[in-house]
Structure 1
Amino acid sequence: MFDGFETPCLILDPQRLRRNAERMLEHCAARNVALRPHLKTTKSAEVARIATGGRMSHVTVSTLAEAQYFARAGFNDLLYAVGITPNKFARVAGIMAETGKTITLCVDSIEMAQALAESAVTAPALIEIDCGEHRGGLPAETDELIAIGRALGLQLRGVISHAGHSYATDQIAEVKSVAKAEISAANAAAGQLRAAGMAVEVVSIGSTPTVMHADSFDGVTEVRAGVYLFCDLSQLSRNICTLDDMALSVLTTVIGHNRKAGVLTLDAGALAMSKDIGANAFLSSAHYGWLCDTKTLEPSGLSINAVHQEHGTVQVADPVWYERLPIGSTVRVLPGHACLTAAGGYGAYHTTDGQVWPRVDGW
């Protein structure tokens, strides 16, 4: 199937991808909430069209390179879900002027709200709310919220939150609790702004676990999620997906045997797989990815146990594996965290039905 492929390379199963996308689109439609897919995982216009169901708008990005790429591909209403700073104003303005597309920005401080309002950038903005992860945003109850809203003036569109701490558990009941708190925080912030006389059109929340398991989206206008498109061992370990949902893998070649040390070496290391081992919290066998059969994607029971920049080390307890996986043979590896694996600078996806889908990298 992949004879002659230079490795490492990203392998994407379009059938699984479409199934995952359709499931989420149906999930959100049934709950009367708009889906704004996060494309930081996929970085591909072909995947984006599948994720939106063909709608060329309402997508999320995490780099301005992505914003430019998707705007040029025809997507409108892009949300840049990373706090904006003045050194990026010119590029945002340039992308919008070149493409005619809208990029919504995020702020979480009075300083940035004032800087944006005083700049030549006419982009709409959301105020980021910290709902518990403490990565970015400000508490919903802070007095600064009103000041930021007033500083933004007509550029204010609403509020945004992200419950990344939903990954701290593998218990669905706890995910539901996190989702409830996230939605409550976003609605509380929106309510304060409205009470102060400001229009709030957008209440945006999301992470794949909370979008999948929230009991209600009352008050929420849109949800954001991204890794559900590919899935990975982190999602599997937290009961968010099944093995058959995993659409992304890395094709890698066996480049060495060290029988004395009891290891074999792959050409997929830290740059190809990432150093994220978050899946191991609830799936101790995940390590840096599961080795699978190249054709069937059936797990072999082996993992990448250690990574260097371009080398992946696999511990081998049974020497029969040296015969099963001779030097020059290939395996596919299911990643621990698809977002970081796919961000590794691959340039394109090779699909299981023989296509090559370009993608964007960098910032």
Structure 2
Amino acid sequence: MAQQCEAQGVALRPHIKTLKSLEAAAIYAPLPMPITVSTLAEARAFAEAGYQDILYAVGLSPNKFAQVNALLNDAVTLTVVIDSTDAAAQLCDQAHQLDHPLRVAIEIDVDGQRAGVAAIDESLIAIAAKVATTPSLTFAGVMGHAGASYGCFDAVSRDQMAQQECQQVLLAAKNLADAGYPCTMISAGSTPTVLASASREGLSEMRAGVYATFDLVMAGLGVCAYSDIALSVLTCVIGHQKDKHWVLIDAGWMALSRDTGTQNHPLDCGYGLVCDEQGKILEGWYVAHTNQEHGVVKHRDGRTPDESFAYGTMLRILPVHACATAAQYHSYHVTQDNEHTHASWPRINGW
């Protein structure tokens, strides 16, 4: 990811939301890199660790103004995002409570997938004008996220989505600059689009997050191989339903999450693909359904489980969505050989 951004001549602002771990970030987002966060709890923990340039990439809500001010008081260069005139009005009305200047970016809807204002929407200029003329606020620029890239199953479509993402944030930046509101931040990115081929000329930075471990969604899109997935849930065989050819494991949705993000992929991985204890995929075996603490492992062809699934056998489950699975835990067991724990990394939870 770093090489891709360097080749494109843009800065990389990693999103630390997948692992939410200072120790993990030391590998892929070492100080003094700028980072992206999804919660202000992450921002607080990373600020205390010395990170000073932080983008909070979720639309700011009024109930978080006090947390934002606390970060500003710790000399953090914090950028928040908004995407409506209502959000701008509330933020500007409360800006007098801020003790230090706050950077504000406008989120651009680049693909009709979720949040953001369209690059040609007339409210774009109104939002920037409101922010730029409010004391204690600094208009920073624009950011976009191509969430629709998670539906791009080949390189050509990912390239097209990456180009569309860039074009839309650049168009928004141009319209703002033409209206007298130049953008210092022109930010775009998602793991599939940053790794795609597209011109990034004019962007100031790119963002991505799940590449820190990858997952079955990324593998299903062709962004990575199954062997690239660096996160798994270690579980144990606790029983069988022999007439149904089921293997029962002690990892249900509380351990794996309820995310079924590959259900529309060519290969539906259910709640996760099954590996042996060393991490080798057991072909055809997957977690078909889950209860709170029970997972049900089946074979796609209805095969009867062999001695690989004997009672007490340890297995590894590859996550459908790494961010959702990782969120079930307070820490990670770090291994270099899939046999011994070499370190334990705490995780930052909460909001």
TM-score after normalising by structure 2: 0.91
Percentage of matched positions with identical amino acids: 41
Pairwise CA distance, 1:189: 0.7
User: Is there any run of 5+ residues in structure 1 with no aligned partner, and where?
Assistant: 1-23
Report the 3-state secondary structure (helix = DSSP H, G, I; strand = E; otherwise coil) of the residue aligned with 1:305. strand
Pairwise CA distance, 1:192: 1.1
Report the 3-state secondary structure (helix = DSSP H, G, I; strand = E; otherwise coil) of the residue aligned with 1:67. helix
**1:51 alignment partner AA:** Y
Please give the per-residue CA displacement for 1:182-235, whole angstroms capped at 9, x wherever unaligned: 111101111111111113100000111111103210111111111111011111
Cα distance between partner residues in 1 of 2:275 and 2:212: 20
1:148 to 114, 127, 130: 127
Please give the per-residue CA displacement for 1:259-305, whole angstroms capped at 9, x wherever unaligned: 12321111211122122222232242411111101124343431000
Matches within 5 A, 1:167-186: 167-186=150-169
| Cα pair 1:57 1:78 within 8 Å, conserved | no
Cα distance between partner residues in 1 of 2:169 and 2:121: 13
Number of equivalenced pairs: 336
2:112 to 113, 125, 133: 133
The yes-or-no answer on 1:102 pairing with 2:85 is no
Moved more, 110-119 or 71-80: 110-119
**1:343 alignment partner AA:** A
Q: 1:41 to 1:133 in 2, by over 3 A?
A: farther
Pairwise CA distance, 1:160: 0.6
**1:83 alignment partner AA:** G
Larger relative contact order (CA 8 Å, sep ≥ 6): 1
Report the 3-state secondary structure (helix = DSSP H, G, I; strand = E; otherwise coil) of the residue aligned with 1:272. helix
Partner residue, 2:339: none
Partner residue, 1:334: 318
Pairwise CA distance, 1:92: 1.4
The alignment yields a C-alpha RMSD, in angstroms, of 1.6
| Cα pair 2:28 2:212 within 8 Å, conserved | yes
Partner residue, 2:221: 238
Partner residue, 1:18: none
Partner residue, 2:344: 356
Partner residue, 1:49: 26
Q: 1:182 to 1:328 in 2, by over 3 A?
A: same
Matches within 5 A, 1:106-255: 106-119=81-94, 120-121=97-98, 122-153=101-132, 154-255=137-238
**1:341 alignment partner AA:** T
**2:12 alignment partner AA:** L
Report the 3-state secondary structure (helix = DSSP H, G, I; strand = E; otherwise coil) of the residue aligned with 1:185. helix
Please give the per-residue CA displacement for 1:231-260, whole angstroms capped at 9, x wherever unaligned: 111111111011221111111111222212
